[in-house]
């Protein structure tokens, strides 16, 4: 028999479910639906409701089209809801962990992640919001105020909801940790710089943040993809991109004034806008929400001083090379390898080739994946960590279980500790892979570290291996057979990459 539990919030009462050991509340609105005239506007307060609102089913995902790496589809803009998971045992003043999902900026939903193990292991309240993505989250157009920041502002609204309401779930609004993976981690970098995020969280964890600072040479994100621009876009440039995209698709009558054009754009069907979603994943700077590019502000030390954790997986890029090259029928070959090197590194190609000789790797694709991991993931993560550590307490990790069961199997391709492989150790996924007994032990240790950081601003745990901060140069390796320091710089040839383009 299903047991329900009711919590009264400022906007009205919600009814969640009581499970063995934890309580679950899903689909709670934290802002008004951004539909109709509210498209591309800041999140607005919710309208109070009468009676008891059902909170047993997930809210709508943000509008998105299915991708090879994500099979969720949605065309409903009413998506500003969040899930709350809390231990069932009575308690107050619990640390709060707010989870920002990944998905490349176009995809993802909180409902995919079941955080009960994190909540129970660490005695935490876990909050997971949905937020606008792609063309709905990062669109800009001449005359559109503070364009390119709507997803970021949704996350800020969710954090303000936590500040107002989390005591009703036993959480401590003065002890909030913001955690994100991949695109979610990139957004945390924006929160660290945004003046309107000040005080909304008290520490943060960035898991596999991609290219927060610096450049990404051709092919080092995905083979076949040119050099990527910075992950942050000047507002004026975004406005030009939005205008050009709208004209190209015929969404706006030629010669319309900005106000009329925006009114027309707010009537364009969701499915039509989603055709352009991948072009609008970079938050824009130059407005009140994000005045400065995090790519410039963070290395200069202009960010909120809170304790920080960050890290990567040992084989980040195997996911991208395996999925978008090998499984797409276009693996890296001995013949294509020199061309990729030349297009990525120009005059330095021969030096890179000498460091990553093909006879040192089982296949050319794995050689290229190692180059991409080291150059596009490890180098910028290390530089970001050092920038943080110069100004605040910072801890760095590497998830290194090369036998990790992949969330997305890549048949015939050795996934290793690929991008997102640590998530199975933190969350349960519907139909997801299972962990061995030793991997379950690692998962428990990882969740205890994360919980200790959320509780105290330091991952140190009783009966766990010590974890010195990054100021000492220490990187904590997380694997079933080894939790201790690793020579991250040597493993990823970072001294070499520091002098490469």
Indicate which residues carry an active-site annotation.
Answer: 182, 316, 419
User: Residue 208's closest CA among 136, 315, 83, 120?
Assistant: 315
Distance CA 12, CA 436 (A): 43
User: Residue 138's closest CA among 232, 38, 265?
Assistant: 232
Q: Is 208 left (phi over 0), alpha (psi -120 to 50) or beta?
A: left
**Helix, strand, coil % in the chain, rounded to nearest 5:** 35, 20, 45
In b/e form, how buried is each residue of 2-24, taking b as 16+ CB within 10 angstroms?
eeeeebebebeebebbeeeebbb
Tokens of 111: 């409902």
Residue keyed to tokens 């995902």:
61
SS3 call for 478: strand
Asked if residue 278 lies in contact with residue 134, where contact means CB atoms within 8 angstroms, the answer is yes
Asked if residue 307 lies in contact with residue 257, where contact means CB atoms within 8 angstroms, the answer is no
Asked if residue 58 lies in contact with residue 138, where contact means CB atoms within 8 angstroms, the answer is no
Tokens of 31: 């802002």
Phi first, then psi, for residue 247 (nearest 5°) are -70, -40
What element of type H or E holds 171? strand 171-181
Phi first, then psi, for residue 294 (nearest 5°) are -60, -30
Distance CA 221, CA 215 (A): 11
Distance CA 325, CA 412 (A): 12
Distance CA 425, CA 417 (A): 12
Distance CA 233, CA 219 (A): 21
Distance CA 459, CA 440 (A): 19
């Amino acid at each position: 028999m299903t047991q329900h539990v009711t919590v009264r919030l400022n906007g009205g009462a919600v009814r969640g479910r009581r499970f063995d050991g934890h309580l679950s509340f899903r689909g709670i609105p934290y802002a008004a639906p951004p539909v109709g005239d509210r498209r591309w506007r800041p999140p607005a307060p919710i309208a109070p409701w009468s009676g008891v609102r059902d909170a047993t089913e997930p809210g709508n995902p943000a509008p998105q089209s299915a991708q090879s790496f994500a099979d969720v589809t949605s065309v409903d803009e009413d998506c500003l809801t969040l899930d709350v998971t809390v231990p069932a045992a009575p308690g107050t003043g619990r640390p709060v962990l707010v989870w920002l999902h990944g998905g490349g900026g176009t995809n993802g939903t909180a409902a995919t992640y079941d955080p009960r193990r994190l909540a129970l292991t660490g005695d935490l309240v876990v909050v997971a919001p949905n937020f606008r993505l792609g063309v709905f989250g990062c669109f800009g157009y001449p005359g559109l105020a503070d364009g390119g920041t709507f997803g970021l502002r949704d996350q800020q609204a969710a954090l303000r909801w936590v500040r107002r309401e989390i005591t009703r779930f036993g959480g401590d609004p003065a002890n909030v940790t913001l955690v994100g993976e991949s695109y979610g981690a990139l957004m945390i970098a924006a929160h660290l710089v945004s003046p309107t995020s000040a005080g909304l969280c008290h520490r943060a964890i960035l898991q596999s943040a991609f290219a927060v600072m610096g450049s990404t040479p051709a092919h080092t994100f995905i083979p076949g993809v040119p050099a990527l621009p910075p992950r942050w876009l000047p507002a004026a440039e975004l406005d030009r991109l939005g205008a050009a995209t709208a004209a190209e698709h015929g969404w706006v009558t030629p010669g319309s004034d900005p106000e009329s054009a925006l009114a027309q754009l707010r009537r364009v069907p969701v499915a039509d806008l989603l055709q352009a979603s991948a072009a609008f994943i970079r938050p824009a700077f130059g407005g009140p929400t994000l005045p400065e590019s995090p790519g410039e502000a963070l290395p200069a030390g202009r960010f909120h001083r809170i304790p920080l954790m960050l890290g990567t997986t040992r084989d980040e890029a195997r996911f991208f090379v395996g999925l978008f090259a090998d499984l797409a029928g276009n693996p890296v070959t001995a013949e294509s390898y020199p061309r990729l090197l030349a297009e990525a590194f120009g005059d330095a190609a021969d030096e890179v080739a000498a460091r990553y000789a093909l006879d040192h790797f089982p296949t050319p694709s794995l050689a290229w994946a190692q180059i991409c991991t080291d150059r596009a993931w490890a180098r910028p993560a290390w530089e970001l960590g050092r920038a943080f550590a110069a100004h605040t307490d910072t801890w760095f990790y590497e998830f290194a279980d090369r036998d990790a069961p992949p969330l997305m199997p890549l048949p015939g391709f050795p996934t290793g500790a690929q991008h997102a492989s640590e998530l199975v150790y933190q969350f349960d996924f519907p139909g997801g892979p299972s962990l061995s007994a030793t991997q379950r032990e690692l998962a428990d240790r990882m969740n205890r570290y994360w919980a200790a950081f959320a509780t105290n601003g330091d991952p140190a745990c009783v009966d766990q291996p010590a974890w010195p901060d990054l100021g000492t140069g220490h990187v904590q390796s997380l694997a079933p057979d080894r939790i201790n320091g690793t020579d991250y710089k040597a493993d990823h040839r970072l001294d070499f990459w520091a002098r490469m383009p």
